Structure 1
Amino acid sequence: MIIAFIVISLFVTFKWFSSTSNKHKNQPPSPRKLPLIGNLHQLGSNPHRDLQTLTQKHGPLVLIHLGSVPVLVASSAKAAHEIMKTHDFVFASRPKLNITHTLTYGSKDIGFSPYGEHWRQIRSIAVVHLLCNKRVQSFRHVREQETRVMMDIVGKSCGSVTDLGKLLNSLTNNIICRVALGRTYEGEKFQDLLIKFTYLLGCFSVGNYIPWLSWVDRLSGLEARTKKVAEELDEFLEGVLEEHINKKTMMHGDGNGSDKGQDLIDILLDVQTEHTTNFTLQRDTIKASIMDLFAAGTDTTSTVMEWAISELIRHPRVMKTLQKEITDIGNGKPMITEDDLPKMTYLHVVLKETLRMHTPLPLLIYRESTQYVKLMGYDIPSGTQVIINAWAIGRDPSRWEEPEKFYPERFLNSSIDYKGLNFEFIPFGAGRRGCPAIQFAIAVDELVLANLVYKYDLALPNKMNGEELDMTEITGLTLHRMSTLQVVATPRFK
């Protein structure tokens, strides 16, 4: 009896203290939560849609609880602007999440590292040395060569069914491999590792939100699978690094200072030996940064192209308009090159509309507040995790006319762009933590889309109508089609 009385007294005291300390706090609206799990039961296999439903009911800024962790959900352009511009400094950090922490060498990469000096240094290295316009242009020949290879594969399969989704994924993987590692790495093992890596990044870890249930991650095998993939990727990257270091040693003394033919690992190794700042680029940081490129560059880029072709097949009018523009500019050339792309206005708006409707990361990578802040009139304490539902913002009916309709013309004569200045359209994020690789991703997307619709008419197997195409989504970190896109290609020119 005495023990029960003490427990009840402590519980009542805790509840009284909590309500007293919060009574002057103006918190965002919150849906009802359950003991222990909070609002976890309200999130299903497509959390971007579930969170959209919650914000439609409670408002554009909603406080939910995932287990014991308070999470702010932003689903309007105004809320995104406040978080990623007005208070960008406060919300520039990342929470420590078990899976990403394990896969990125203790969050030493660009995407998942907490805000601070380490992040500032590696972000600067990426922007200045890896992803600047000059560097992106230097890899033009890689993009064009790999695109030509894929077009030939599609051509050889003409008349039969082609798994276009698989081809697009292979294409982007080959481009990133050549750009980052210097050559392609064939074989099922490497491909399988990358698939497991990107899959795990989108997995939910119970231990992140209900710490005393961390054993669930161990019992389910999630923890062991994550460690195994991390170890196998590290072994692979160590081998690649050694290849590059040995190559540099053999070439030592060349002295011409040329970076021609360098891949991104070569560049990072050069930065490592420059010692121009007090920051030392550690080996693990190099490997983590390379894994970022695969996570951000392979899966998201191929997925956007797959959704774009899906929408074009479903909308023959848009396909014909795009083909006419590209055919007129191509003027009988065997292939569209990157010199042609700036002239293709309709191609640009087709891609924008695809990014609006099928935002590659529907929920931008979580942020975390580093101090108390007043946000849209609400009190947000330090340590609050933040989800920005970019997918829902792109379909907000108060910002977009007929938001569920695929209508590229909405972007014609519009200044709205995806570079982080228009908060109703943020497929790549914005502010300090916006994606630094926009130029590279768009260059691949535009080149491949232009050549596919220039060289081939694309139809569904078994003479299916475009409206019959299954557009069901599946969500991990990236928004995928449930089933890969199967097409039958017919050459447009003899």
Structure 2
Amino acid sequence: MDFSAPALFLFLFLCFLLSCFFVLTSDRSRRSSAGTAAPPPGPPRLPIIGNILDLGKSPHRSLAELSKTYGPVMSLKLGTVTTVVVSSPEAAKNVLQTHDHVLSARTFNYSVRSFGHHDVSIVWLPPTAPWRLLRKVSANQLFSPQRLEATKSVRMDKVKELLKFLSESSERGEAVDFARASFVAVLNIVSNALFSVDFASYDSQASQDYRDIVIRVMEVAGKIDIANFFPFLGFLDLQGTGKEARDCTGKLFNVFQGFIDARSRERLSRTEPKDVPGTDLLDALLDLTRDNEAELDMKSISHLLLDLFGAGTDTNSSTVEWAMAELLRNPEKMERAQEEIRRMIGEHEIVQESDIAKLPYLQAVVKETFRLHPPAPLLIPRKAESDVQILGFLVPKNAQVLINVWAIGRDPDVWENPMKFEPERFLEREIDVKGKDFELTPFGAGRRICPGMPLALKTVPLMLASLLHSFDWKLQNGAVPEDLDMEEAFGLTLHKARPLRAVPIKKRAGPTS
């Protein structure tokens, strides 16, 4: 852990005060497990801090290594927080399906609490009435088959704009920053679904500003903070996490509020009947608040927009970047994917969403990317609402439960050659990513499965197929595939630490017409 000197001093000083909590917690744990199933095994614990130091800078990797010793259901004590980590398909199925009704609540860290997001967020609320309303609204107004079909033209337009930008870069022989380029395309897809406007262009600073904010929000949300493990220390904000979270999200809230205010004024001046449906999510949300009949208020709307905006842009764009990085590292896989796409689509045609079903190898590339680089490596933490058994081990009430999908995706007992990028494995195995096959659950499963999965499964394959169909690719400055940096930057979501840069080589004129 990387504490500042004042934070470390205060933390050590408070350790003495926390000793009584350690004793009480240990006694309570022993009493809860007496006469019942045994608690999961786990690494030795230090007094007060427990296993905090075992997390390291990349918790998903550290926990994966520990699970090799302590098994697929493992218990750690992170300060005052009892944490159970599952890292096998069978254990994940127990959490996400068998005991989903007991394990659907959330634990939330200090950064989320610091700006009240846990009280109104579709991600962090427990599965009660307010959460069900938010899920229903987002499903019906954004992710239903009807809405996805209605917004298909927007996605196609944004992909064409991406191809135009890449074509111009190709003519200049310039390398493209994939992180930024893919983010702009996804950002505008999402902003049109939410507000019917583009948020950025490829030659504007706005795209980088939005990306920096979104990535910082995700990094802060996944940051190892003292207050995550000793919640009553949150008011001290020893590491400045709360302030950083409020600053980052405040910038986005100001943007959203500007759109809300402008749309509200515009709606007042409309002459059409009030019951005419809106064209985007913001209109739908304002319709729900009309006449004060719904449970939604402006605060709920802003926080819902934050969830959809952050998750929708960050995860989709980073998945496209990871996929391209893996293909550039494995030129024979890229060649096979391109051959399939160009043969099925035609040299001078534009890839359509309907074409994706005809591209099994392209779909396998996407699945293999999700296996090796799941957007949320530990998913979102769950909370046990009562004692429950996972594979015969006791998970006590109020325990935090983490599902290490990153570890499951690299488990040699589950996958042959797990560290290799081999899309072919999905041509031989009927495995999907929609929450039924627990070897591969990048979106989670059960009632808390990611609501944006339907949009992601349209956006990512369409963008990737279009990039591979329209261009050949090479690394900049003569770099060789074996030297491509694949280091990760950990947060609530998993990013490539150093953005991928590659040169597009355009061979056809058709795709951007």
Global fold match (TM > 0.5): yes
Corresponding residue pairs, total: 482
Which residue of 303, 307, 320 corresponds with 2:322? 307
Q: 2:457 aligns with which of 419, 435, 442?
A: 442
Q: What is the alpha-carbon distance in structure 1 between the residues aligned to residue 409 and residue 127 of structure 2?
A: 27
- The verdict on how the C-alpha distance between 1:117 and 1:179 changes in structure 2, with shifts beyond 3 A counting, is same
1:173 aligns with 2:187: yes
The answer as to whether partners of 1:102 and 1:230 remain within 8 angstroms in 2 is no
Is 1:418 matched with 2:433?
Answer: yes
Q: Within 5 Å, give how 1:125-144 maps onto structure 2.
A: 125-144=137-156
TM-score by length of 2: 0.88
Q: Distance in 2 between matches of 1:16 and 1:86?
A: 29
CA offset digits 1:309-336 (Å, max 9, x no partner): 0111111111111111111122133421
**Do the aligned partners of 2:183 and 2:211 also contact (CA within 8 Å) in 1?**
no
- The answer for the alignment partner of 1:3 in structure 2 is none
CA contact (8 A) 1:169 1:298 kept: yes
The letter of the residue matching 1:397 is P
Change in Cα spacing, 1:490 to 1:399, as seen in structure 2 (3 Å) is same
CA distance in 2, matches of 1:414, 1:66: 38
Match of 2:339 among 298, 316, 324: 324
Moved more, 378-387 or 114-123: 114-123
Say yes or no: does 1:225 pair with 2:244.
Answer: yes
Give a deviation string over 1:222-260, Cα, whole Å, max 9, x none. 22222233333322221111111122222243467354x
Cα deviation, 1:415-460, whole Å, max 9, x if unaligned, reads 2100000011101000011111111012111111111111111111
- Which SS does the other structure have where 1:387 is aligned? strand
Query: In structure 1, what is the equivalent of residue 131 of structure 2?
Result: 119
| 1: CA distance, partners of 2:61 / 2:391 | 23
Does the Cα contact within 8 Å between 2:277 and 2:284 map onto a contact in 1?
Answer: no
1:24 corresponds to 2:35:
yes
The alpha-carbon deviation at position 492 of structure 1 amounts to 2.5
4+ runs of 1 displaced by more than 6 Å?
8-18
Asked if 1 retains the 8 angstrom alpha-carbon contact of 2:22 and 2:48, the reply is: no
**2:101 and 2:448 mapped to 1: Cα distance?**
10
Matched with 2:10 is none
Q: Please say if residues 44 and 50 of structure 1, whose CA atoms lie closer than 8 Å, have aligned partners that are also in contact.
A: yes
Which amino acid is the alignment partner of residue 264 of structure 1?
Answer: L
Q: Which residue of 2 aligns with 1:363?
A: 378
Q: Which of 249, 261, 265 does residue 242 from structure 1 map onto?
A: 261
What residue number does 1:201 align with?
221
Q: 1:40 maps to what in 2?
A: 52
CA deviations on 1:322-373 (whole Å, 9 max, x unpaired) are 1111111221334212122221111111100110111111110000011111
User: In 2 relative to 1, CA 82–22 (structure 1 residues): closer, same or farther, beyond 3 Å?
Assistant: closer
Contact preservation (8 Å) 2:320, 2:460: yes
Please say which of residues 218-227 and 403-412 is displaced more in the overlay.
Answer: 218-227
Could you give the per-residue CA deviations for residues 288-328 of structure 1, whole angstroms, max 9, x where no partner exists? 11111122111111111111001111111111111111111
Asked if 1:474 is matched to 2:472, the reply is no
Deviations 1:433-488 (A, max 9, x none): 11111110121111111111111111111222211111111111111111000101
Pairwise CA RMSD: 2.4
* Structure 1 Cα separation of the partners of residues 307 and 21 of structure 2: 47
Structure 2 unmatched ranges of 5 or more: 1-18
SS in 1 for 2:354: coil
Contact 2:216 2:248 in 1 (8 A): yes
